[in-house]
Structure 1
Amino acid sequence: MPVAYAFWTTESGGEIRPVEVPAPGEDEVLVRTLYSGVSRGTETLVFAGRVPPDQHEAMRAPFQEGGFAFPVKYGYLNVGVVEAGPADLRGRAVFCLYPHQTQYVVPRASVVPLPEGVPPRRAVLAGTVETAVNALWDAAPLIGDRVSVVGAGMVGCSVAALLARLPGAEVELVDTDPSRRAVADALGVAFVGPDEASGGRDLVIHASASERGLQTALGLLAAEGTVVELSWYGDRPVTLALGGAFHSGRLTIRSSQVGTVSPARAATRTYADRMALALRLLRDPAFDALITGESPFAELPAVLPRLADGTLPALAHVITY
């Protein structure tokens, strides 16, 4: 069997291990990876071993090997080219929810060909844009709504980019890091710090993964408003002050999670439909602003700890092969 190489998270950090790749069977494809992406939220929590025991099964990635906490082969932002398999896919660039690995074999139904106009490097954002699509299906913003997105990370910026295309919407991207203003400008949304954020919002999307950010999100709502919570906190407890306007304003906190298709569309859309939509949306070159760094695959064991502890600041960090 040909030998490929995969990144594994271990108790002592991360390492690249050889793996045998079988020949593809009927209705399977052999993919050679071009790019993969690091999900700074979920993936860095996995790297730190902070997946709660009661979420070990729920948080499994589609092609994960090993288990939480360690060792585990984890990841789900992979773009490659089909080298063997059905004739209609050979030579096509595809997206797959696969970990960081140089080559792999999966069922053909697990890969989605990139639409014309979507370069492979940008396509690593497909899983993040898919999360944003699902969040907006859950949130159901209306034309002309006043909407804030708190947290200008990968997911928050993706949500803001989609909201900016809603007719008449007044969108603010809120973050404590002023360097994110340049990204907001590229996406076509207003950027403000927490102290400057507008109140009276019909809807707030929270994606900062901090209790301070969630408290800020609640404070921006108009009466009867809703915070849609996209953050995943791992094993960290969250404390909120709910003695103010939370009850008198009849405010709502609603979670949104990409593991299931939003109930608002589950009767008419499949996972494949949602992913295909995310990839079509990535025809917009504005999304390139979310890719803020890249490193070769061989350096991933040294790069992921720096992404996890913040010494390597990034939104989407691309791994090249």
Structure 2
Amino acid sequence: MKIVSIVGARPQFIKCAPLSRELRKVHHEILVHTGQHYDHDMSDIFFEELNIPKPDYNLGIGSGSHGEQTGKMLTEIEKVLLKEKPDLVLVYGDTNSTLAGALAAVKLHIRVAHVEAGLRSFDRNMPEEINQVLTDHISDILFCPTQTAVDNLSKEGITQGVHLVGDVMLDALEYNKTVAEKKSKILEVLGLKKDKYLVITIHRPSNTDSRENLNNIIKALREIGEAVVFPVHPRTKKFLQEYGLDFPANVRLMDPLGYLDMLKLMAGARKILTDSGGIQKEAYMLGVPCVTLRENTEWVETLEGGWNVLVGGAGIDIMGEA
């Protein structure tokens, strides 16, 4: 079977790694990189560290508004599909690359398989939620990571082609955890000791696009006092510069990290603060408590037993949980 796999963002590279490795044993996979994440720290390093095959097509779409980015992807992916004529298009997660890949395929009457189907935060203000819902409703095969995801689809009338398969991010984490422990020197480079620091990541518009929310988070980090490592997403960096916000001395800003360094950094943290769905999951899988800077989460399982706590962007709540 000829399968075109669509990836474009950091979480998709991680999910793609274990699945692509197995797919290529029995199928002909064509890998398409949309270029949604395009610099070395957000893209190339993941292909290198996770041994992902070099993309057959790199569309180089880059950044832009949601409409602009998705539209360009749709046009370019369609060209690839018309040329390759695959039996199946495989998409991952909830990004603009996911939706564009699914739309391009379904309009050409090509079957669509969605990895990480059925996740719902029930917050239509999040672009990821829109991408997720629309992709699920036009997919032929839906690979769900949890029973909750299966139930969500059933409530929306989607019962055909649904499979409960577990989480490919766990496959990637388990495969690379020992490698990260041996190879990564990130703690030594930063002069950190296990359980003596926090890690924070922020990239959601609800936090980055609001000067007040971003400032509240910074104030909370100042009050916490202990060492905080902050790998800064390019989008977040843009807003930090625009707002002219100053960080306290206990917060160390860094460029985005590769998968192995980030895995090692998270595994050694006392706690992780994030608005990322993928980081919430990885924290849970690593057994590290997580404070989620959102009002909701699509990964409701992480809330059980108190491993993950939702606090929104209010500084006082962050301080109480961190």
Question: TM-score when scaled to structure 1?
Answer: 0.30
Q: Would you tell me which structure has more helix in proportion to its own residues?
A: 2
Question: TM-score when scaled to structure 2?
Answer: 0.30
Higher relative contact order (CA 8 A, sep 6+): 1
Q: Would you tell me which structure has more strand in proportion to its own residues?
A: 1
